[in-house]
Amino acid sequence: MTSEVKAAPAPDPSIVRWNFVIIVLDAGFFFFAMAFLDPVAILPVLLNDLGHSKLIVGLMSGLQRAGWLIPQLLAASFVLHRPRRKPFVVYPCLVGRIPFYLLAIVFNLDWAATHQRSALLLLVIGYTFFFFTDGLCGVPWHDIIGRTIPARLRGRFFGTIQFVGGLLAIGSGAIVHKVLADTSLAFPHNYGRLFIYLAVGMTLSTICLALIREPGGAVVSDRQSLPSLLRAIPSTLRTHPRLYQAIIGQILCGMGSIAVPFYAIYAESKLHLPASAGGTFVWAATLGSVGASAIWAYLSDRHGSTSAIRAASWLIIAVPTCALLVPAMVRGTALGYFYPLVFLLNGAVWGGMWLGFTNYILEIAPDDIRPLFLGLQATLSAPTIIMPLLGGWLLNLVSYQVLFLVAAVAGLAGLVYVHRLPEPRHEVTGNSAA
């Protein structure tokens, strides 16, 4: 990465204020929309009811990770040399969210009830298309944040996103609970109703994306092709060891997610909680995200991003431990009140991981190659893709309890590693944005 760098002045304060609000609303409506078919609490149950296969549930969760992680280095090659990032956010989102409108139609047709395997195939194809187009948006979207939001405000900014998105998702959870408890809506038309609400939320999010005001920023003058970026990976990681350490930490923490798609299926198939409990799980996850967002923001702004990462790493172990202990200690109707603690903790932990690692990368990345850092962070974390699929395979061999125990042990590796992760604020990083 020896190309000439074209720098840009700091953004106008009015752009900072505008984008702070608009991007928070964009992400908030996105969380509001996704909560209707929550990837942890709702979507796995729908997939299992349609296909009766834990491997399909694990595959979908793996595809979600693959779609988010793999395309980001390709996206970095598109935007590194371009002064404007916004088109590479808006256009993929416009195209990539179309499947939700189609699924809202399909799952409200009688055809979906009589051709459930075909409906499942359309669901997997539609979500896969969305996951990969959403992944193309990740680098330019985060780079606009890096250009706009000063380092001293980023913890507050990401915390506000989680808080606002969480409040909106509380409304989503209420609607989910009401819809899935409505016996007049037959399966899968009840999920078709949820797809309609999801599509509305995505529409509001896309409108907010279009309203973002993009400031100028440093760019690399020469185009960087994907093959050249791939060849430069070893030298980039040697030159920037903090990036390498962050990626390893993210991979190890991600190993603890092996059981995440199966907590809701366990509740339905083994604990015999009703489908409407999915709404309660969404509420619990939202409460965990909202309640912890202020903690993660405070830790990140006051003590550095590693503080948020380390604190959240303890919860990676707490989630499967809770899934093991609650059914063993609680019986009867009380289980419906205590098992949502699993989702509350899960909502808290992954919000902390996202805020912590994203802030960490934005702090250590030089302005001109920030998209490269974001792309490498995502794409090189791809080994975590196989964890949910591995979890689905394991469930064909062992019990849910054994899977949860494996998840807790796997999370321990991440916990140990991130407590050795250096804090970028205590070192000279050369990042002018910090």
Check which CATH number belongs to the domain holding 15 and give it.
1.20.1250.20
pTM for the model: 0.76
Q: Is residue 171 a part of any domain in this protein? A: yes
8-state DSSP, 54:
H
**Tally of structural domains, the chain:** 1
pLDDT 10s digits, 340-394: 999 999 989 888 888 888 888 888 888 777 778 888 888 888 888 888 888 888 9
Whole-Å CA distances, 26 to 33, 82, 205, 272, 284? 11, 23, 4, 36, 22
Measure the CA–CA gap between 388 and 261, rounded to whole angstroms: 7
Q: Is the pLDDT of residue 219 over 60?
A: no
The set of residues, in sequence order, having a beta carbon less than 8 Å from that of 211 and lying 6+ positions away, is 22
Question: Which of 42-51, 78-87, 395-404, 419-428 shows the lowest mean pLDDT across its residues?
Answer: 419-428
Tell me, yes or no, whether 1 lies in a domain.
no
404 falls within a domain = yes
Average predicted confidence (pLDDT) for the chain: 85
Rounded-to-integer distance, Cα 36 and Cα 41, Å: 9
Domain hosting 179: range is 7-426
Residue 228 in domain: yes
Assigned domain for 431 exists: no
| DSSP classification of residue 216 | P
Residue 434 domain-assigned (yes or no): no
Of the two residues 10 and 85, the one the predictor is more confident about is: 85
| 430: pLDDT strictly greater than 60 | no
Q: Is the model's pLDDT at 259 over the cut of 80?
A: yes
Residue 185 to residues 122, 180, 191, 315: CA-CA distances in angstroms?
Answer: 21, 8, 9, 37
pLDDT at position 9 is 54
Judged by DSSP in three states, 184 sits in: coil
- State how far the Cα of 301 lies from the Cα of 161, in Å rounded to an integer: 15
How much is the pLDDT for 278?
81
The answer for residues whose C-beta is within 8 angstroms of residue 310's C-beta and 6 or more apart is 418, 419, 421
pLDDT at 6: 45
Q: Kindly report the CA angle at 292 between 288 and 295, in degrees rounded to 5?
A: 170
> Which tokens sit at 381?
């974390």
Looking at residue 55, its pLDDT comes to 81
Per residue in 304-349, pLDDT (tens digit) is 888 889 999 999 999 999 999 999 998 888 888 899 999 999 989 8
Q: 432 in a domain, yes or no?
A: no
